[in-house]
Amino acid sequence: MSWEAAYGRAYQIQTSPDGSSWTTVYSTASGDGGVDDLTVSGTGRYVRMYGTQRATQWGYSLWSFQVLGS
């Protein structure tokens, strides 16, 4: 994940098989912006970043978000 200036201080990475029920596979309360290379384990058809605390007043802004699998 590559954040723009409006990054998440606290956020979760979640997966879902159907887009309705979500499972948290990563969580942090100390995000610092920039580039986050995360190693997580889980399965699902959908992946999302679920922000729980903004670092700035501007919300959340990701420049890029990649999901790579084996």
Kindly list the averaged pLDDT for each block of 10 residues, start to end, along the chain of length 70: 96 97 97 95 95 95 92
pLDDT for 58 equals 92
Q: Tell me the whole-structure pTM to 2 decimals.
A: 0.92
Q: In degrees, to the nearest 5, what angle opens at C-alpha 58 toward C-alphas 52 and 63?
A: 85
pLDDT for 70 equals 74
Q: How many domains does the chain have?
A: 1
Contact 56, 16 (CB under 8 A): no
Residues in the chain: 70
Query: Within its chain, how far is the Cα of 60 from the centroid?
Result: 10
State the CATH number of the domain containing residue 47.
Answer: 2.60.120.260
Q: Which domain holds residue 19?
A: 2-64
pLDDT for 69 equals 86
